[in-house]
Chains A and B, each alone.
Chain A
Amino acid sequence: MMRALEKIGFALTVLVLVSPAATVFLWMLSLSLKNELDNTAWPPVFIPSPPVWDNFIAVFERNDFLLYTWNSVVVSFTATGLAILIGVPAGYGIAKMRATRAAMLILIARITPGLSYLIPLFLLFQWLGLTGTLTPIIVTHLVITVPIVVWVMIGFFEGLPAELEEAALVDGANIWQAFRHVAFPLARPGITVAVILSFIFSWNNFIFAMVLAGRETRTLPVAVNNMLTFEQISWGPLAAAALLVTLPVLLLTLLAQKQIIAGLTAGGVKGG
């Protein structure tokens, strides 16, 4: 009897813990699939019957949603790619040299509010005549992606056994070859974690693009925020747009939950 009660109590606790997260996402889905009448009904209508696609169609018809999606894709992929290109060797170097101070510098990047980079960089990009292109947005996103990649990779390379590389060095390989042919292949799982986290936090970033983007260079979070300002009460399209923006990230989280949890547990990574 006691065991059964304990089990029910535990199940209820799990339910209470999970329900705020589930509720918000389900409500987002519900709003996006209902017509305007149902969305502003009192008492609220929870289950769309029948579900309608009008809101999603409206999002694509009324806005340059495809352009903004393309911008977000370009920014997140480029910023992540560049971060991997320079961050993986850096993580390797720092791990090999046991350079604690270099690691601390990465921590400072984590502490600094995103806005504080923006004032000087905003002026710099104006002087360089780069405003209105995607370049400033990509460059500022490196502020998020490079520290994430370096941090994850330091942890990963420190965990790799040194014997294999040392064997390669003894066999006459130089340190670059040892990295390229021994450490790098072994580090693939770590790189996967770094790519996923860096992509997600770049995709989610709002503040850099909000300050730096022009009409044509908005990323999705900025575009969605603008919709709120101009369409106060049309909830259906708003919810549909919000869902479209965050859906790739949610799917990625569901698919790669193991890697994401491993990466986040190791260091409490968070961008911006």
Chain B
Amino acid sequence: MSGAATLPATAATARPRRNYARRYVWFVVPAAIVVLSVILFPWVFTLFMSAHDWKIGGGHSYVGLDNYRKLFTDDRFLWSMARTLYFTALAVIGPMVLGTIAALVFARNFPLRGLARTVFILPMMATPVAVALVWTMMFHPQLGVLNWLLTQFGLPPSMWIYDANTVIPTLVMVEVWHWTPLVMLIVLGGLASLPVDPYEAAKIDGANAWQAFRHITFPLLMPFLVVALIIRTIDALKAFDTIYVITQGGPGTSSETINIFLYLQGFAYYNMGYASAVVVVFFLIIVSLAGVLLWARNRAKDL
């Protein structure tokens, strides 16, 4: 929920009548209690656990930073990190490009636009597990409908999720299918807010459609594209449901991203201390990538 629409309004206005405003604190208290107990408490407790050797069923003992040291010499973790970045790069670029194109299409008026738009956003509303099941069936190397489609176009069949080389691009394809609509909606929101005047001026000056897009639409759309980029990056890093249902990290460990590694450490091997250290490192990765993108946006604004 990055708030292109809401946050700036809050930030822009100074706090008027502070004491008057403070009376509204009571409205926030119940939610604050919930947030503190189910969001903040886990955080503090995770930090605590990450400094312990903590096995479910066994005891726990203080080990300081050992879990972190172990993590950065654990090849399996380092590979999962590399895979996560590879997956994320592809799963950000795809939806960004396709989502922007789709938004430009859906911003125009055409017959059945409402229906087409609804069908287009269905993937992001559908239950990920249910959809992942259908994809799994479509990826079947012998009987799957996707290989049949490939042969219709004269292409060789693919092993999809059953080959270490194709499994991540295949999972990216599912992710692109899933989340392109979210990018489309954010960019579409941006397109709806564009002023009309610059286009009229450009028309008078004799600009063609591409020039108008390149020099007017694109720069004005930039803030929305950055919001979409940040949201997409965070979501791609966090991707879990579809990867877990479709491959569970396999074949071997060739689609084991950080999130899958984290799940296995915590809930398959019950290394709670080690898994907590993964959580902390994982969160830092997410925050720093999001931070870099925000910083880049602010710099771009100043130029």
Cα distance A137–B94 when bound, in Å? 34
> Are A239 and B134 in contact (CB-based, < 8 A)?
yes
Contacts of B185 in A (CB 8 A): 261, 264-265, 268
> Are A151 and B6 in contact (CB-based, < 8 A)?
yes
Q: Name the one of B6, B32, B182, B267 contacting A155, with C-beta atoms under 8 angstroms.
A: B6
In the assembled complex, B64 has its CB within 8 A of some CB on chain A: no
Contacts of A146 in B (CB 8 A): 31, 34-35
> Are B134 and A31 in contact (CB-based, < 8 A)?
yes
Q: Smallest CB-CB separation from A152: which chain B residue?
A: B1
Q: Smallest CB-CB separation from A72: which chain B residue?
A: B127
Q: Smallest CB-CB separation from A95: which chain B residue?
A: B10
> Are A10 and B110 in contact (CB-based, < 8 A)?
yes
Q: A267-B5, A270-B182 are in contact. Are A43 and B148 (CB under 8 A)?
A: yes
In the assembled complex, A33 has its CB within 8 A of some CB on chain B: no
> Are B240 and A114 in contact (CB-based, < 8 A)?
yes
Cα distance A98–B6 when bound, in Å? 11
Contacts of B46 in A (CB 8 A): 116, 119-120
Q: A119-B272, A120-B49 are in contact. Are A175 and B143 (CB under 8 A)?
A: no
Q: Smallest CB-CB separation from B144: which chain A residue?
A: A44
> Are B177 and A21 in contact (CB-based, < 8 A)?
yes
> Are B130 and A119 in contact (CB-based, < 8 A)?
no
In the assembled complex, B125 has its CB within 8 A of some CB on chain A: yes
Contacts of A269 in B (CB 8 A): 1
> Are B186 and A268 in contact (CB-based, < 8 A)?
yes
Contacts of A24 in B (CB 8 A): 123, 131, 134-135, 138, 177
Q: Name the one of B114, B130, B131, B234 contacting A111, with C-beta atoms under 8 angstroms.
A: B234
Q: Shortest CB–CB separation between residue A257 and chain B, in angstroms?
A: 5
> Are B283 and A97 in contact (CB-based, < 8 A)?
no
Residues in A152-209 with C-beta less than 8 Å from chain B: 154-155, 158, 175, 179, 200, 203-204, 206-207
Contacts of B83 in A (CB 8 A): none
In the assembled complex, B126 has its CB within 8 A of some CB on chain A: yes
Q: How large is the interface on B (under 10, 10 to 19, 20 to 34, 35 or more residues)?
A: 35 or more
In the assembled complex, B128 has its CB within 8 A of some CB on chain A: yes
In the assembled complex, A49 has its CB within 8 A of some CB on chain B: no
Cα distance A227–B134 when bound, in Å? 13
Residues in B261-280 with C-beta less than 8 Å from chain A: 262-263, 266-267, 272, 275-276, 279
> Are A109 and B35 in contact (CB-based, < 8 A)?
yes
In the assembled complex, B290 has its CB within 8 A of some CB on chain A: yes
In the assembled complex, A86 has its CB within 8 A of some CB on chain B: yes
> Are A113 and B259 in contact (CB-based, < 8 A)?
yes
Q: Smallest CB-CB separation from B111: which chain A residue?
A: A11
Secondary structure of the B contact surface, majority rule = helix
In the assembled complex, B39 has its CB within 8 A of some CB on chain A: yes
Contact with B along A19-55 (1 / 0, CB 8 A): 0111011011001000000001011100000000000
> Are A113 and B123 in contact (CB-based, < 8 A)?
no
In the assembled complex, B120 has its CB within 8 A of some CB on chain A: yes
Cα distance A184–B279 when bound, in Å? 39
> Are B3 and A103 in contact (CB-based, < 8 A)?
yes
Contacts of B207 in A (CB 8 A): none
Q: Name the one of A109, A115, A221 contacting B259, with C-beta atoms under 8 angstroms.
A: A115
Q: Name the one of B3, B7, B275 contacting A119, with C-beta atoms under 8 angstroms.
A: B275
Q: How large is the interface on A (under 10, 10 to 19, 20 to 34, 35 or more residues)?
A: 35 or more
> Are A268 and B177 in contact (CB-based, < 8 A)?
no
Contacts of B93 in A (CB 8 A): none
Q: Name the one of A21, A179, A206, A266 contacting B128, with C-beta atoms under 8 angstroms.
A: A206
Q: Shortest CB–CB separation between residue A85 and chain B, in angstroms?
A: 8
Contacts of A207 in B (CB 8 A): 240-241
Cα distance A155–B43 when bound, in Å? 27
Q: Smallest CB-CB separation from B5: which chain A residue?
A: A266
> Are B121 and A120 in contact (CB-based, < 8 A)?
no
> Are B6 and A267 in contact (CB-based, < 8 A)?
yes
Cα distance A187–B127 when bound, in Å? 28
In the assembled complex, A105 has its CB within 8 A of some CB on chain B: yes
> Are A155 and B283 in contact (CB-based, < 8 A)?
no
Q: Name the one of A97, A100, A121, A124 contacting B11, with C-beta atoms under 8 angstroms.
A: A100
Instruction: Flag the segment in B18-26, B65-73, B213-221 that touches A.
Output: B18-26
In the assembled complex, A63 has its CB within 8 A of some CB on chain B: no
Cα distance A153–B112 when bound, in Å? 31
Contacts of A110 in B (CB 8 A): 1-2, 234
Q: A103-B3, A235-B137, A265-B185 are in contact. Are A140 and B31 (CB under 8 A)?
A: no
> Are A17 and B133 in contact (CB-based, < 8 A)?
no
In the assembled complex, B208 has its CB within 8 A of some CB on chain A: no
> Are A113 and B1 in contact (CB-based, < 8 A)?
no
Nearest 3 Cβ contacts at the A-B interface: A93-B27, A90-B31, A265-B189
15 A-B Cβ contacts within 8 A? A18-B116, A24-B177, A25-B122, A40-B143, A90-B30, A97-B24, A113-B262, A116-B46, A119-B272, A146-B34, A148-B1, A204-B129, A207-B240, A242-B133, A268-B1
